Amino acid sequence: MKKTAWIITYKLKKGVDEEDFIDATQCLHDEVLSKAKGFIFWQQYKQESTWTDFVMWESTDDANNGLDVGHGTIQAKHFYSFIQMTTCRMTISEFVKQYERSL
């Protein structure tokens, strides 16, 4: 069983308040995703106008099953209402190896 990540990039719609988007993300995390089987963490990154979400799961099965967890929920609809869906790209990747700074 290998840890598996969702790696998702996207842009927000014009005029979106980033703090409102972050609040929507927190709500989706707290009320939906964090309760899914195998969920480990969700990190958000931003470079200029491109956002990247890194969501880690215990296994590939958990990551695949997680795709349906928020489907149709108010929290997911609110979260996605901020995103330009035509810019959204997602990969699901299995963990291979971690490299760390040596002391």
Is residue 103 pLDDT above 90, yes or no? no
Q: Report all structural domains of the chain as residue ranges with CATH numbers, in order of start.
A: 4-92 (3.30.70.100)
- Look up the pTM and report it: 0.92
The phi and psi torsions of 76 (rounded to 5 degrees) equal -70, -45
15-33 confidence digits (pLDDT tens):
999 999 999 999 999 999 9
Could you tell me the sign of the dihedral formed by the alpha carbons of 65, 71, 20, 15, in that order?
A: positive
Could you tell me the sign of the dihedral formed by the alpha carbons of 79, 82, 88, 93, in that order?
A: negative
Is residue 3 pLDDT above 90, yes or no? yes
Burial degree of 100 (CB within 10 A; 0-12, 13-18, 19+): exposed
The structure tokens listed for 34 are 């964090």
Average pLDDT, the chain: 97
